[in-house]
Amino acid sequence: MRWRTIILFLLIVGAGFIFMGMTTNEIANEITLGLDLQGGFEILYEVHPVNEDQEVNRDLLNQTYAALERRVNALGVSEPELRIEGEDRIRVRLAGVEDQDTARSILSTQAHLSFRDVEDNFMMGGENLKEGSAKAVIDEYNQPMVQIEFKDADLARQVTTALRGQPMVIWLDYEEGDSFEEEFSKEMAGGDPKYISAPEVKEVLSTEGVITGLESFEEAQELAALLNAGALPVELEELTARSVGASLGEQAMDLTVRAGVFAGLLIALYMMVYYRLPGVVAAVSLSFYVYLILLVFNWMEAVLTLPGIAALVLGVGMAVDANIITNERIKEEIRSGKTIRSSFRAGSKRSLGTILDANITTLIAAGVLFYFGDFAIQGFGLMLIVTIILSFFTAVLGSRLLLALLVSSRAFDRKPRWFGVKESDISEL
């Protein structure tokens, strides 16, 4: 009996577990969770032209994308996902947003600011604002307001001269049919008017102005951020909207992780009881597999979603399968009367082709799903590909290396029971 290989086996396994134990928490914490696991929302927008001259093309989509991106950044969301889909769609995915309602309205508002008279005639548009000049402040009466600067001082002067002594109505996203009169009577009745404010023009303005009538400093900040991010060049329609509350996501996360841990333990236990020594090796390589999956996921900066976790747990099943195929082969060889060592060699060799074929077919299916699938299907296909490749490495290379160390120590020669084979089942050569 050679102790050297057994000690090497113990060293590898021991070092592996210590390393995993030290780093797993850190890796798990770094993984980005999908919105179904931490709350957040996902919206698929369809881009509509604002007027008849406009044509929805790649340029316009890119402009819209950039405008949305600026808004998302103004919201301060970490790791937003935006992407253009098809001819006229943009998908926005924001995980971990606390105030979903505000975020949604900030995203989809055109943020087209207009200054109108009381008869709703257009006087001046938001284009006349200096880029990046809007600033939220609080005046001496503790009222929140937004300071703005005009590009064209002459135009501002003209407008304010014409409106002197009258209210200048400031609208965000004025739509055909909106009327100041109607909204004003709403405000008188204690309601919330659609326009932002209607301050009276007391003096002629040229380069600077303020927007008042805001409810809170937060609202002023939002408006300033919106004005700075610029108007959307298009109208956005929500085709699909999905939002998940934070507590619901957290509950889903906790329960799924618990179920996954339980399933892993159950599988490891089953393997050890059924396959004995090779089963222990399988359980060890399984834990390596789960660790590697998390590691690779982190490297790829992939987003872990609920189906992703499910695929991971299933991947454990697939990794187990390669172990099972090999171990069954080894058992068959032992039963046929070969020595333990040559059974291991023959079993490993003969099972490789089978495992390869099974993995490649599944890989092909996963590849098609990844390449041709829709957004939702794609993520799943990617998860499957990673799973298959890693399970192949750990279950074929990892398990075999470890088992080879044990077998070559000769400690288990003529001990078929350690491999789950009864002496009475072995046929004489």
Partner 1 sequence: MNFNFKDKALDVVGHRKGFFAASAIFLLVGLVFLLLMGLNLSVDFEGGTQLEIFSPEPLFSVDEVADVLTVEGMEPDDIRLAGNENEIVEVLYIGTLTKEEINQAESVLAEQFGDVEVSESTVTPMVARELAVKAIYTTLLASVAVIVYVSIRFEYRFAVAAIIALFHDVLFMIGVFAIVRLQVDLTFIAAVLTIVGYSINDTIIIFDRIRENMKVAKLKTTQDLQQLVNQSVKETLPRTLNTSITVIFASLCLYLLGGEGIRNFSFALTVGLLSGTYSSIFIASQIWFVWKAREFRKKAAHA
389 binds partner 1 (CB under 8 A): no
Question: What one-character DSSP code corresponds to residue 302?
Answer: P
SS3 content of the chain, % helix, strand, coil (to 5): 60, 15, 25
Nearer to partner 1, 138 or 265 (CB): 265
425 binds partner 1 (CB under 8 A): yes
Binding track, positions 263-292, relative to partner 1; x by CB under 8 A: x--xx--xx-xx------------------
Residue 45 or 150 with smaller CB distance to partner 1:
45
Surface-to-core class of residue 298, CB atoms within 10 Å of its CB (0-12 exposed, 13-18 middle, 19+ buried): middle
- Smallest distance from partner 1 to CB 402, Å: 19
Our finding on whether 252 is near partner 1 (CB under 8 A) is yes
Task: Write out the binding residues for partner 1, residues 307-326 only, by CB under 8 A.
Answer: 307, 309-311, 313-314, 316-318, 320-321, 324-325
Rounded Cα distance, 163 and 167, in Å: 7
Q: Phi and psi for 229 in degrees, rounded to 5?
A: -70, -20
Residues within window 2-61 making contact with partner 1, judged by CB under 8 A = 36, 41, 44
- How many whole angstroms separate alpha carbon 407 and alpha carbon 326? 14
Closest to 395 (Cα-Cα) out of 300, 295, 325, 298: 325
Diameter of the chain by CA atoms? Answer: 112
In the complex, least distance from residue 172 CB atom to partner 1, rounded to whole angstroms? 16
Closest CA to 398 of 281, 257, 256, 234: 281
Q: Which residues pair with 119 in a beta bridge?
A: none
Q: Of these, 205, 294, 384, 386, which contacts partner 1 (CB under 8 A)?
A: 384
336 binds partner 1 (CB under 8 A): no
From the list 16-24, 66-74, 197-205, 234-242, the region that binds partner 1 by CB under 8 A is 234-242
# binding residues, partner 1 (CB under 8 A): 76
**Which two structure tokens, joined as six digits, stand for 68?**
């949305």
User: Among residues 57, 73, 185, 240, which is the contact residue for partner 1, using CB under 8 A?
Assistant: 240
DSSP calls for 240-274: EEEEE-HHHHHHHHHHHHHHHHHHHHHHHHHHHHH
Indicate which single residue of 195, 288, 291, 380 sits in contact with partner 1 (rule: CB under 8 A).
Answer: 380
> Which of 238, 342, 413, 417 contacts partner 1 by CB under 8 A?
238
